[in-house]
């Protein structure tokens, strides 16, 4: 029974770490896409001048 509890705890930790990693990755991708949008807006503004 102890072995099952250890495996369950190990899998839980792995899933929590993976969830945190993907959450951080999603935040980084959102930041990058916002920066790209800002750069595209600046590029359009410069081309109008």
Query: Is residue 13 situated within a structural domain?
Result: no
Token duo for residue 20: 């945190």
- 21-46 per-residue burial string, b: 16 or more CB within 10 A, e: under 16: eeeeeeeeeeeeeeeeeeeeeeeeee
Query: Is residue 28 situated within a structural domain?
Result: yes
Distance between alpha carbon 4 and the CA centroid of its chain, in Å?
31
* Whole-number pLDDT of residue 49: 63
pTM score = 0.67
Q: What is the pLDDT of residues 25-46, one digit of tens each?
A: 999 999 999 999 999 888 877 7
Q: What distance separates the 2 farthest-apart alpha carbons in the chain?
A: 73
Query: Is residue 1 situated within a structural domain?
Result: no
What domain count does the chain have?
Answer: 1
Token duo for residue 40: 């595209």
- What does the CA dihedral 38, 40, 46, 48 come to, rounded to 10 degrees? -120
């Amino acid at each position: 029974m102890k072995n099952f509890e250890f495996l369950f705890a190990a899998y839980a930790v792995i899933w929590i770490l993976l969830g945190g990693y993907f959450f951080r990755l999603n935040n980084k991708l959102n930041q990058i896409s916002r920066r790209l949008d800002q750069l595209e807006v600046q590029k359009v503004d410069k081309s109008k001048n």
